[in-house]
Structure 1
Amino acid sequence: MNKTKIKYLKKIKGIFLGLGIFGLLLLNSCGSSEIKETTAVVELVDLVYPLLDTENSRWFFFSSASRPFGMVNLSPDTQVGGAWGSGYRYKTDTIKGFSHIHAWQLSGLSVMPVAINNDNRKTIYTDFYSKFNHETEEVSPGYHQVFLDRSQTKVELTSTKRVGFHRYNFLEEKQKAILFSLNGKLGPCIITDGKLIKTGDYELSGELVNAPTIRRPKPTKVFFSVQLNTKVKAVTKDTETGNYLIDLSDDKAEVLMKVAISYTSVKNASENMKAELDHWDFDTVIKESRTEWNEMLGRIKVEGNSETAQRRFYTDLWHGLQGRRTINDANGAYPDNTGDAFRIGQLPVDANGKPLFNHYNTDAFWGAQWTINTLWGLVYPEIMDEFVNSLMQYYKDGGIVPRGPSGGNYTYVMTGSSATPFMVSAIQKGIVTDNLEGIYQALKKTHMPGGIMEKAGYEHKTSLGGGLKYYLEIGYVPYPIPEGKFGHHQDGASLTMEYAYQDFTLAQLAKKLGHKEDYEYFLKRSTNYKNTFDTASGWMRPREVNGKWHGDLDPYMYETGFNESNGAQSTWFVPHDLAGLADLMGGKEKAIAQLNTQFKTAEKIGFTSGSSHDRELHPEYRRIPINYGNQPSMQTAQIFNQLGRPDLAQFWTRKVVKSVFSGLGPNTGFNGDEDQGLMGSLSVLLKVGLFQMNGGTEKNPEYQIGSPIFDKVTVQLNPDYYKGKEFVIETKNNSEENFYIKDVKLNNQSIDNLNISHEDIINGGSLVLEMTNTLSE
């Protein structure tokens, strides 16, 4: 067991897990090895293990000193090059800066406290990295502390939503300074045109540019405003690197620095600081951040199982609220890059000048139908509401509902119209009730020529890679696309299946709003998945434009007609018509047998394609029949529910949870592509025993009841959206061996199936599951 994990376990050792229970905590005092014994309330934020999977983290994900969905995502960077393998990487023992933006295709504003003398003043711009030790590191949601060996500086970080807050203690008597790295490679971006000026004895301001990337086609400016509690003696620019050294006076033993950012102007960055951080009380900001995270995590309370299981659960839940970032200022100004020229947009505000919703930077909603659709829709409906409004703001500005916007612009990341199931789910759950016709018309446009559905991954200048015209004319997207290569992910079989599912979800909204012809039209389109099914082999297969199957049959060939998957994994991507898929396979019994065999094979290598997303191309791992490390097959265990074998769903879900989602260390966690909280969200849902195969897109959406790993789960319902106060799931005789559901009672009434409606849940009540270890009991 690594030393950091031992230290973290010692921190909460001896505490009986549960809210409001007092115990003795062994806490390391800051900057000292002295151990203090104190009485404290156990808070959920202390159960989160932020270092989970940090050996495999990617740029936009790990962010310690951050608020939920914060514009500022402040944390140390140990690797600074590339979207993958950058940011905070646990195994790298050198800190290369503390940057404020870790977002989808955005980075920026890296700073580093340094100690200056005559020997290093000229070289500091290129020679400033520092070793650190995990033994002196403390991390929790909203806070990060490290000790820089080189400058002998204790660094503490926290933040508000739009302001990063730094506290530095320089232990050696050297000239104090801060290096601002405003140019060069940082995460997925090249940072250019960095500028910094002194605007007062204690103040600085500046800007920088995120140069275009293959995914984000336009530059994005970041503006910032800085305040310090000690005087700025000098600001020196290095002509070679374009970076800046800030010399500080020696009148303060403890240096505090506030850094506010904006994507619209320096003035708005300054206004963000005034609105959110008009004082210098660092510890108060930490407490406020803890309070906010505790409130969010406390929406679900779990009891029972082990200490490790509970800690992993709240870490997963924390992940479900990570990665996607606010881009609007406190006054509602936001960057709009959807047109020919950049402009500053303005969100609608209330009587107090507060925006009615926030605007977001976000990776695609690809796979969200099985993750945040359910988690946010049930537990955080206000977030789902905001995101729908944000997506519609992009539509109003640029005429297209985005898949994954960055910097106020479209990126065309991934494929299809993955926002459709998300937005339809919000409407069917009663979260979004206004402008339903406007939303429908926007989504309808998205599904037709001229919308985002016809663009393949990162296809900025054409609309051919998605093959939508073929889908409409011949009923499937061919592989390869006859016109050639225009974007990533031009995998025809996957595109056909994805479009079909999304058409089904749009048909449900058309039906709700009384558009009968549209309903029938999109419902018919949703059957196009059948045109990629090879009845002779029992697998989905890529098909060429002339109708012939592409190549020799190999259901394990990775990314040959299948997007980030193989044919075995993607064959089951028919969430809207599993009965129809089973008919194609020769009936439910044959479908069950085929899927069960796939699980047995996948179990041998842990249900994932290796330990990280980039290992999916490995010759061994790419041939796995089910991969719980990526989105295309993360719903497969729940398919057994739809085929009449919930016992197999319970059996395999428990095995997947144990193998994939039970680790608690830097080198494990999600074993694949943790796309901005999707895997964390999936883990939460599997562990509480609720899932939605359709992504919650049908009328009064249905939840499939799974096998919870806890004795009791209490979901606090948001009173602004739902009638009930809470929904409680209790299990009797639950254990690692007793994972089968023997009996089900909803509000003390026995029910015959393992389905429950959204209305049943949001009205409040209880679900009691009696568990057993055999089917015959």
Structure 2
Amino acid sequence: MIVQTCIRQYSKRVTFLVCIAIFISACKQTKQEQKTNKDISKSSSSFTEKVYPLLDTKNSRWFYFSSASRPFGMVNLSPDTRIEGAWGSGYRFESDTVKGFSHIHAWQLSGVSVMPVVMKETDEQHIFQDFYSKFNHQNEEITPGYHHLKLERYQIDVALTSSTRVGFHKYTFPKEKEKGILFNLNTILGPCTNAEGFLKKVNDSTLEGSLIAQPTYRRPKATKIFFYVSLNSEIESIQKDEVTGNYLVKLDNQLNEVKMKLAISYTSNENAKENLVNEIPEWNFNEIVNASKKEWNSELSKIEITGGTDQTQRRFYTDLWHALQGRRIISDVNGAYPDYTGTSFRIGQLPLDKEGKPMFNHYNSDSFWGAQWTINTLWGLVYPERMKEFSLSLMQYYKDGGLIPRGPSGGNYTYVMTGASSTPFMVSAIQKGIVKENLDSIYLALKKNHMPGGIMERAGYEHNTQKGGGFSYYMKNGYVPYPLPDGEFGGHQDGVSLTLEYAYQDWTLAQLADKMGYKEDATYFLKRAQNYKNVFDSAIGWMHPKDVSGNWSVKYDPYTYQNGFIEANGAQATWFVPQDILGLANQMGGAEKAIEKLQEQFKTAAKLGFTSGDSHAAELHPEYSRIPINYGNQPSIQTALIFEKLGRPDLTQYWSREVVNTVFSGLNENTGYNGDEDQGLMGSLAVLMKIGLFQMNGGTEADPEYQIGSPIFDKITIHLNPDFYEGETFVITTKNNSDENRYLKKILWNDKELHKTSLKHSSITSGGILELEMSNQ
């Protein structure tokens, strides 16, 4: 068949010698692929095999599910079973129909959906509007970096993998059928509508095109997406449908196994081509599958665990896998990136090293809201190279647009959520020694967000004004009133939560100011960090909304959801004072009263499973919304560790185990993160609770402290990055560990008894062994 193809090509314009070369190359390629196919099961896949990608896919959202993707990859290729809306879209387990295979599942971005089809003359005219296909989970295989299923309508086997910027497809068509690939470039996909799709033939086996990801409520500017396609099959024709504007690419029928490489770029077709040529120059599909597995294994193996059941280990590595998902690269292999922060689009260029390679990647990201208790700690300890890259990327946005973002999309600001949530993240990176250069510039950039004209002034998605954050009242009166009297600007204008966020973030900036020697600034921001007291009502013992005149809201119920509190109720949000837990306890009448209060909240929350239902939307349910502690969303996920700060580490150990057992132990499609896994935040939280490490203030003080919880495994080995840390490994071992023996009886650090339940960052990263003797009391 390959010879026949060559002869036909020769009759057109290829010489006989070239045909022979192609034939020999194809034979070698086929033999190599067969060998690779045999070896694929022998590759180092012990960690990826433990990942369960279908976790919580019944409740997943557009950017939640991953299969054919690399860590933080620009391309996140997977089948879509629902395509309408940001929530409840993408790959949803209970949907049995594939509506396309798209390449971008990112924060407020989607794009380039394709569908292999088998055509009949009678239905070709309808193929553009009638192409969906059923599939069966029994014929499906999903591992990190790979997805395989069968399109039952067409009897096509589809296998998907990817590099960082290139999707690699392998379609096995039924024999002697007319084959084609639909390019659905003009369609709604998750959070946005794709429009102005364009496709053209470059040569007999190459295509290029583009589309516009239309603006959304959260991403205010249109974003252009370019792509470049290479096929191992000859293209017979391209047909454009005038109704949908989409394209059908008809293929040479001689080849039943069709491979397609599709590279993405946010800057140009030329850069998309360069991404393809650099990342997947050859056609060995299984080689890329193995490379993807190897990369995932490398990332997952940075934490090795022993002990526990098979399910607890599988769930752990699934959590860790999710901790590296969602936030995606938007820069090309040469360092070009899209910049939409100004009045018009421009192609930016990242700085290059001596070898001409980009010094870091530029990123697309959901908000860092809640990151202080999740990726701050996990990335800072296990993946410092990623934390540094993200910090440099955030500074690149500042250099381009004048503000450090809290959730950029497609090279632009989205103003997602509230406050200056990037401040704790970057301060933590600096305090841990991950970011060491240009600290004065970084400090001034962060400070700008905390002053008039900065990002604190803008509430959620407030693109055109800067009044919704209530910042002028915070500056003048020390709190943000609720309701805000200035009108409706953006979203999330819940004054108590805004006050609490600003106060905590001010405290973190004060830590950096002190480190940098800006003593006056440090004093100023430390004073602002005490503003949380202005919304604490000592008469009732709760955070309490105040109006603009300073009056407490009447008929206040601390269990009413979003009544002055962002995605929370007053009972949950009252504890959002990570910078001053002892000060908050004093406001409540002392540590004992605070412990008693929080203990009652946990007992009540336990009856409801510690979450507001099994999805983000369920938080509004009349019963679920009244839960006093919610581990399904970010505002109160630190609460179990508060006991440790109040002198009762035993209660931290008890309740953190209860939360892990109840919320983060399932391994099925129906549950996992309760529908609000914001790009690795809840996966990271689950990992940290299971290894027994936490940082109450986000690791933002000098030589940050880790609180020790109750690890669920017998041994945990964290391989430290030698480019950042002196030690080789940090090991946690537990003796007599079980669900009943969840309490720390004795603690040894490098063979010396430790009389506290905390360790400093400098100690951990110097390497050593933390030995925990466990007991049932």
- Tell me the amino acid that sits aligned with residue 76 of structure 1: P
Pairing 1:223–2:237 present: no
- Once residues 121 and 292 of structure 1 are traced to their aligned partners in structure 2, the CA distance between those partners, rounded to angstroms, is 41
- Once residues 718 and 208 of structure 1 are traced to their aligned partners in structure 2, the CA distance between those partners, rounded to angstroms, is 40
1:184: how far off?
Answer: 1.6
Which of 90, 94, 101 matches 1:91? 94
Please, what TM-score do these two structures have when normalized by structure 2?
0.95
Alpha-carbon deviations, 1:228-255, whole Å to 9, x = none?
A: 0000101000010010000000121200
Equivalent residue, structure 1, for 2:12: none
Pairing 1:646–2:654 present: no
1:152 touches 1:172 (CA, 8 Å); kept in 2?
A: no
1:215 touches 1:412 (CA, 8 Å); kept in 2?
A: yes
Equivalent residue, structure 2, for 1:393: 396
Alpha-carbon deviations, 1:77-119, whole Å to 9, x = none?
A: 0000100000000000000000000000000000000001111
- Once residues 42 and 564 of structure 1 are traced to their aligned partners in structure 2, the CA distance between those partners, rounded to angstroms, is 39
Equivalent residue, structure 2, for 1:176: 179
1:171: how far off?
Answer: 2.1
- Tell me the amino acid that sits aligned with residue 58 of structure 1: R
Cα gap change, 1:533/1:36 in structure 2, threshold over 3 Å: closer, same or farther? same
Task: Please give the residue correspondences for 1:129-528 in structure 2 after superposition, counting only pairs within 5 Å.
Answer: 129-528=132-531
Alpha-carbon deviations, 1:448-503, whole Å to 9, x = none?
A: 01010110000000000000100010000000111111111000000000000000
SS in structure 1 of the partner of residue 126 of structure 2: coil
1:42: how far off?
Answer: 5.6
Cα gap change, 1:136/1:264 in structure 2, threshold over 3 Å: closer, same or farther? same
Equivalent residue, structure 2, for 1:618: 621
Pairing 1:705–2:708 present: yes
Cα gap change, 1:348/1:58 in structure 2, threshold over 3 Å: closer, same or farther? same
Pairing 1:599–2:602 present: yes
- Once residues 415 and 124 of structure 2 are traced to their aligned partners in structure 1, the CA distance between those partners, rounded to angstroms, is 45
Equivalent residue, structure 1, for 2:577: 574
SS in structure 2 of the partner of residue 122 of structure 1: helix
1:668: how far off?
Answer: 1.0
Alpha-carbon deviations, 1:132-169, whole Å to 9, x = none?
A: 00000000000000000001000000000000000000
Equivalent residue, structure 1, for 2:107: 104
1:671: how far off?
Answer: 1.7
Equivalent residue, structure 2, for 1:717: 720
Alpha-carbon deviations, 1:522-569, whole Å to 9, x = none?
A: 000000000000111000011100001123120001001000000000
- Once residues 75 and 90 of structure 1 are traced to their aligned partners in structure 2, the CA distance between those partners, rounded to angstroms, is 13
- Once residues 556 and 502 of structure 1 are traced to their aligned partners in structure 2, the CA distance between those partners, rounded to angstroms, is 25
- Once residues 166 and 329 of structure 2 are traced to their aligned partners in structure 1, the CA distance between those partners, rounded to angstroms, is 12
Comparing 562-571 and 59-68, the one that deviates more: 59-68
- Once residues 156 and 551 of structure 1 are traced to their aligned partners in structure 2, the CA distance between those partners, rounded to angstroms, is 60
Alpha-carbon deviations, 1:655-703, whole Å to 9, x = none?
A: 0000000000011111241100100000000000000001000000000
- Once residues 353 and 195 of structure 1 are traced to their aligned partners in structure 2, the CA distance between those partners, rounded to angstroms, is 32
- Once residues 553 and 741 of structure 1 are traced to their aligned partners in structure 2, the CA distance between those partners, rounded to angstroms, is 40
1:364 touches 1:404 (CA, 8 Å); kept in 2?
A: yes
Equivalent residue, structure 1, for 2:764: 761
Higher helix share: 2
Give the unaligned 5+ runs of structure 1: 1-29
SS in structure 1 of the partner of residue 480 of structure 2: coil
Give the unaligned 5+ runs of structure 2: 1-32
- Tell me the amino acid that sits aligned with residue 610 of structure 1: G
2:47 touches 2:300 (CA, 8 Å); kept in 1?
A: yes
1:183: how far off?
Answer: 0.5
- Once residues 520 and 344 of structure 1 are traced to their aligned partners in structure 2, the CA distance between those partners, rounded to angstroms, is 41
1:507: how far off?
Answer: 0.1
Equivalent residue, structure 2, for 1:123: 126
- Once residues 554 and 638 of structure 2 are traced to their aligned partners in structure 1, the CA distance between those partners, rounded to angstroms, is 28
1:151 touches 1:172 (CA, 8 Å); kept in 2?
A: no
Cα gap change, 1:256/1:672 in structure 2, threshold over 3 Å: closer, same or farther? closer
Cα gap change, 1:198/1:533 in structure 2, threshold over 3 Å: closer, same or farther? same
- Tell me the amino acid that sits aligned with residue 585 of structure 1: M
Cα gap change, 1:41/1:434 in structure 2, threshold over 3 Å: closer, same or farther? closer
Equivalent residue, structure 2, for 1:16: none
Equivalent residue, structure 2, for 1:17: none
2:629 touches 2:636 (CA, 8 Å); kept in 1?
A: yes
- Once residues 556 and 768 of structure 1 are traced to their aligned partners in structure 2, the CA distance between those partners, rounded to angstroms, is 41
- Once residues 103 and 40 of structure 2 are traced to their aligned partners in structure 1, the CA distance between those partners, rounded to angstroms, is 34
- Once residues 532 and 123 of structure 2 are traced to their aligned partners in structure 1, the CA distance between those partners, rounded to angstroms, is 64
Equivalent residue, structure 2, for 1:53: 56
2:142 touches 2:148 (CA, 8 Å); kept in 1?
A: yes
2:513 touches 2:519 (CA, 8 Å); kept in 1?
A: yes
SS in structure 1 of the partner of residue 211 of structure 2: strand
SS in structure 2 of the partner of residue 527 of structure 1: helix
- Once residues 492 and 676 of structure 1 are traced to their aligned partners in structure 2, the CA distance between those partners, rounded to angstroms, is 26
- Once residues 592 and 119 of structure 1 are traced to their aligned partners in structure 2, the CA distance between those partners, rounded to angstroms, is 73
- Once residues 491 and 737 of structure 2 are traced to their aligned partners in structure 1, the CA distance between those partners, rounded to angstroms, is 45
1:327: how far off?
Answer: 0.2
2:176 touches 2:253 (CA, 8 Å); kept in 1?
A: no
Please, what TM-score do these two structures have when normalized by structure 1?
0.95
2:99 touches 2:131 (CA, 8 Å); kept in 1?
A: yes
1:41: how far off?
Answer: 6.0
SS in structure 1 of the partner of residue 56 of structure 2: coil
Equivalent residue, structure 1, for 2:637: 634
- Tell me the amino acid that sits aligned with residue 58 of structure 2: E
- Tell me the amino acid that sits aligned with residue 556 of structure 2: L
- Once residues 79 and 123 of structure 2 are traced to their aligned partners in structure 1, the CA distance between those partners, rounded to angstroms, is 22
Pairing 1:541–2:548 present: no
2:44 touches 2:297 (CA, 8 Å); kept in 1?
A: no
Alpha-carbon deviations, 1:548-593, whole Å to 9, x = none?
A: 1123120001001000000000000000000010000000001000
- Tell me the amino acid that sits aligned with residue 406 of structure 2: R
- Tell me the amino acid that sits aligned with residue 661 of structure 2: K
Comparing 378-387 and 114-123, the one that deviates more: 114-123
2:56 touches 2:675 (CA, 8 Å); kept in 1?
A: no
Equivalent residue, structure 1, for 2:730: 727
SS in structure 1 of the partner of residue 111 of structure 2: strand
Equivalent residue, structure 2, for 1:20: none
- Once residues 352 and 664 of structure 2 are traced to their aligned partners in structure 1, the CA distance between those partners, rounded to angstroms, is 41
Cα gap change, 1:458/1:434 in structure 2, threshold over 3 Å: closer, same or farther? same
1:351: how far off?
Answer: 2.4
Percent of aligned positions that are identical: 65
2:43 touches 2:290 (CA, 8 Å); kept in 1?
A: no
Which of 684, 688, 696 matches 1:685? 688
